[in-house]
A and B are shown apart, each in its own frame.
Chain A
Amino acid sequence: MTRATRPRGSVPWTWLWLLPGLAFMGALFVLPICRMAWDSVSDPVPGLGNYAAILSERLYLRVFWNSIWSATGATLASVLIGYALAYAICRASGRRRRLILGLVMFSYVVGTVPRAFSWLVVLGDRGLANLLLLRLGITRSRVPLIYNEFGVLVGMIHVMLPFVTLILLGSMLRVGAHLVPAARTLGATSRRAFWEVFVPLTRPGVLAAMMIVFVYSLGFYIVPAVLGGAGQTTIVMEIQELALNLGDWGLAAALSTAVVLVSILGAAMYVRTTGLADVHGHE
């Protein structure tokens, strides 16, 4: 194929188009982050005192661990559930597909806060879930479903599921329509065709979804605040506490910087494993 020749000197123009985006990112993202990193080593006194404080204080490490732990759980669970859901949408045709997709999109537009609170109604001690468990005779007494790890996980999965489903669905729809049928005619059972053809081809989508859920979940504030107990204090809640209630901006900045670094690490691992294949297409 012959490529249309571009007029000379078009490169500076390309950059001009990028300028608004770059200016926006620079002013509202890069600069504040740099400022935050600077604060973490200069407030209240210059040096690495804040980081030393984080490492020496067990509370911060535990809170950090809480965040990573629940982010990992939310990642695995929502990708697993999302894969099944996206597969169902992918296989459904016409009206059914639009219906399920509509439900997914609906929960997406409702927003995080109302969704988190709605779980109180369902999972609370006198909530729907407990009522059902008791009525069906599955449990004899009320089971604590919120203000613990479980409640946080449910809330996080609920928030992340639409993202995961849409990412995975996009990746599934890119799998050639004839590939699984071809595998069947070549002797693969439906199970083997799924595992050896369909799943490997959706791998980039799975990795993309995992990265997004993980990085996003690290920053969760509302869900653990509403559905978690004291043991589920996350890093973001701790930062908020330090900055707004205790006024320790330097320490808050140091913790924030650490979160940013962990997120970048996650993203970098993702880019390394996929080579950004599904960002610029893999034709």
Chain B
Amino acid sequence: MIGAAVTIEGLTKTFDRFTAVRDLSIEVRAGEFLSVLGASGSGKSTVLRMIAGLVEPSAGRIVIDGRDATRLPPEARGVGMVFQDYALFPHMSVRQNIAFPLRMRRTPRAMLARKVAQTIDLVGIEGLAERRPAQLSGGQQQRVALARALVFEPKLLLLDEPLSALDKGLRDYMKAELKTLHRRVGVTVVYVTHDQSEALAMSDRVAVMHHGNLLDVDTPARLYDLPGSRYIAGFVGDANLIEGEIVWTDPDWATISCALGAWRLAPDRVRMDAGSGAGRARSNGPATIVIRPEDVAVAAADAPASAGIALPCEVLEALYNGSYTLYALRCQAGVTLSARAPGQGDARLAPGSRATASLSVGRSVVVEPGSA
């Protein structure tokens, strides 16, 4: 099956005086797994509910699979949705829950039974069909909710933080399951989450929302590697945010300067006004420089200097995390950097010791200046 394409134009929702979603436009491609990532109150769930037809937009248009769905009631949209709390019907068995959408569509009995059985198979809940939702674990309930949302073969599946109620181990497992399911079924998925690691791991593209605004839509790798704004840099992955300025721009290079030093960057790593598309014409001036912790290498003070900018610093704290160690470093001019080293790191880098931080400045990104 090919999933539905969804076109959203100028979507706005205001509640009394509060604007939950402001002028949001986005194209969801057929078969795509698109995550809408945002903190609570960013408006991401409202967007999902408007696509589902549960919340009426104040302005804008929603086109699902070529059909204007803006004013259609939810039952006429043919869109599957999984709710955060799964919303399974407690008075029905698993089988009755999954059969519900088919029953609403007056599917003939034989076909209904066949489709329910197929879907139970698809999500791997054989043997639970006669149970009530209350008798299932969180992971099982989620599979039932998925089955119920998929059994009528919708071309668009909406997922509202479906993993947030599960514990961590199960969550990681279900991430892979969902991704596999998406590939097998081919349905277009719009996945709402506040968890950047879920969004990065599963999505073809991620839309980042903040205070009702869509900040950026891009592939996970580009969002992480080239964040378009200070907010995205801090929200998607960890980042050192250093206030500095752009001192010179020409077609090939931008020269930036901050308390750590000055260096040149390729123009595509300057993401001033990335969201507005206004170009880099006025990009000379204050800016925020984004350096990922893994782009800061830390070595004992007497080790030979490596490429890039090397800075003397003091180790404030070392946090061992299993596969990596996180260092908090204080550099010159009082700048605190976070650095990430693979494995256990260097035993000599105990808190209080002197060290050298080497910045892979070529991987840094420049975004608009912060207020702080």
Write the residues of chain A forming the contact surface with B, with a CB cutoff of 8 angstroms.
176, 178-179, 181-190, 192, 196-197, 200-201, 283
Q: List 19 A-B contacts (CB under 8 A).
A: A178-B84, A181-B52, A181-B74, A182-B89, A183-B100, A184-B54, A184-B73, A184-B75, A185-B54, A185-B77, A186-B75, A186-B152, A187-B75, A187-B101, A187-B104, A190-B73, A192-B104, A201-B89, A283-B134
Residues in A whose Cβ lies below 8 Å from that of B300: none
Q: Is A201's CB under 8 angstroms from B90's CB?
A: yes
- Do B87 and A181 touch (CB < 8 A)? yes
- B74 contacts across to A, CB distance below 8 A: 181, 184-185
Contact B104 A185 (CB under 8 A): no
B85 in contact (CB, < 8 A): yes
Known: A181-B52, A184-B73, A186-B80. 17 other contacts (CB 8 A): A176-B85, A178-B85, A181-B54, A181-B87, A183-B89, A183-B100, A184-B54, A185-B75, A185-B81, A185-B149, A186-B148, A186-B152, A187-B105, A188-B100, A189-B73, A192-B104, A201-B91
Bound-state CA distance A200–B149 (Å) is 21
The 4 A-B pairs at the shortest CB distance, nearest first, are namely A187-B104, A182-B87, A178-B87, A186-B101
Most chain A C-beta atoms within 10 Å of own C-beta, residue among B49, B74, B101:
B74
B87 touches A179 (CB 8 A): yes
- In the complex, B53 has a CB within 8 A of chain A: yes
Query: Does B349 lie at the interface of the complex (its beta carbon under 8 Å from any beta carbon of A)?
Result: no
| Those of B19-77 within 8 Å (CB) of chain A | 49, 52-54, 73-75, 77
Is A188 touching B79 in the complex (CB atoms < 8 A)? no
In the complex, the chain B residue whose C-beta lies closest to that of A189 is: B75
Contact (Cβ within 8 A) A186 B85: no
Q: Residues of B contacting A197 with CB < 8 Å?
A: 89
Partner of B89, one of A179, A185, A192: A179
CA distance A197 to B97 in the complex (A): 11
Smallest Cβ-Cβ distance to B151: which chain A residue: A186
Chain B residue numbers with a CB within 8 Å of A188 are: 75, 100, 104
Chain B residues whose C-beta falls within 8 Å of the C-beta of A178 in the assembled complex? 83-85, 87
Partner of A186, one of B90, B91, B104: B104
How many Å from the CB of B281 to the closest CB on chain A?
Answer: 46
Q: In the complex, what distance in Å separates the CA atom of A247 from the CA atom of B84?
A: 67
Q: For residue A201, which residues in chain B have a CB less than 8 angstroms away from its CB?
A: 89-91
User: Of all chain A residues, which has the CB nearest B152?
Assistant: A187
Interface residues of B in 213-228 (CB under 8 A from A): none
Within 8 Å CB of B158, what residues of A? 185
Give the docked Cα–Cα distance between A190 and B73 (Å): 9
Are A185 and B100 in contact, CB atoms less than 8 angstroms apart?
no
Contacts of B77 in A (CB 8 A): 185
> Chain A residues with Cβ under 8 A from B79's Cβ?
185
CA distance A188 to B54 in the complex (A): 13
What DSSP secondary structure best describes chain A's contact surface?
helix
**Which one of B52, B80, B83, B134 has the highest number of Cβ atoms from chain A below 10 Å of its Cβ?**
B83
B52 / chain A contacts, CB cutoff of 8 Å: 181, 185
A197–B89 Cα gap in the complex (Å)?
7
Q: A187: nearest residue on chain B (CB-CB)?
A: B104
- A184, B87: Cβ atoms closer than 8 Å: no
Per the 8 Å Cβ criterion, residues 71-119 of B in contact with A are: 73-75, 77-81, 83-85, 87, 89-91, 100-101, 104-105
- Known pairs A184-B53, A188-B104, A189-B75; A200 contacts B91 (CB<8 A): yes
Chain B residues, Cβ within 8 Å of A176: 85, 87, 90
User: Which residues of chain A come closer than 8 Å to B49, judged between CB atoms?
Assistant: 181
Min distance, Cβ A251 to any Cβ of chain B, angstroms? 48
Q: Chain A's nearest CB lies how many Å from the CB of B190? A: 13
Chain B, range 101-142, C-beta contacts under 8 Å to A? 101, 104-105, 134
Contacts of A184 in B (CB 8 A): 53-54, 73-75
Task: Please state if B90 and A185 are interface contacts (CB–CB under 8 Å).
Answer: no
Is B81's CB under 8 angstroms from A182's CB?
yes
Tell which of B53, B84, B91 touches A185, judged by Cβ atoms closer than 8 Å: B53
Closest-by-CB residue of B relative to A180 is: B87
Q: Distance (Å) between the CB of A109 and the closest chain B CB?
A: 32
B49, B79, B81 interface centre (most CB from chain A within 10 Å)? B81
CA distance A183 to B54 in the complex (A): 11
Please name the residue on chain B nearest to A179 by beta carbon: B87
Q: Nearest CB to that of A192 among chain B residues?
A: B104
- Residues of A contacting B81 with CB < 8 Å? 182, 185
Q: Are B83 and A182 in contact (CB under 8 A)?
A: yes
Give Cα A189 to B104, complex, Å. 8
* CA–CA, A179 and B87, complex, Å: 5
Q: Cβ of A283: which chain B residues have Cβ within 8 Å of it? A: 134
Interface centre among A182, A184, A190, A283 (most CB of B within 10 A): A182
Return the chain A residue nearest B79 by Cβ: A185
The residue on A at minimum CB distance from B78 is: A187
For A189, list chain B residues within 8 Å (CB).
73, 75
Min CB distance B148 to A, Å, is 7
Docked CA distance A181–B158 (Å): 13
In the complex, how many angstroms separate the beta carbon of A247 from the nearest chain B beta carbon? 55
Contacts of A179 in B (CB 8 A): 87, 89
B100–A186 touching, CB < 8 Å: yes
User: In the complex, how many angstroms separate the beta carbon of B331 from the nearest chain A beta carbon?
Assistant: 48
Q: Closest residue of chain A to B134, judged by CB?
A: A283
Residues of A within 8 A of B148 (CB): 186
* Chain A residues positioned under 8 Å from B83 (CB to CB): 178, 181-182
In Å, the complex CA distance between A252 and B85 comes to 57
Whole-angstrom distance between the alpha carbons of A190 and B74 in the complex?
9
Chain B nearest Cβ from A94, distance in angstroms: 10
Q: Are A185 and B80 in contact (CB under 8 A)?
A: yes
Cα A186 to Cα B145 in complex, Å, equals 11
| Complex Cα–Cα for A178 and B86 (A) | 8
A182, closest chain B residue (CB)? B87
Interface-central residue, A183, A186, A189, by most chain B CB under 10 Å: A186
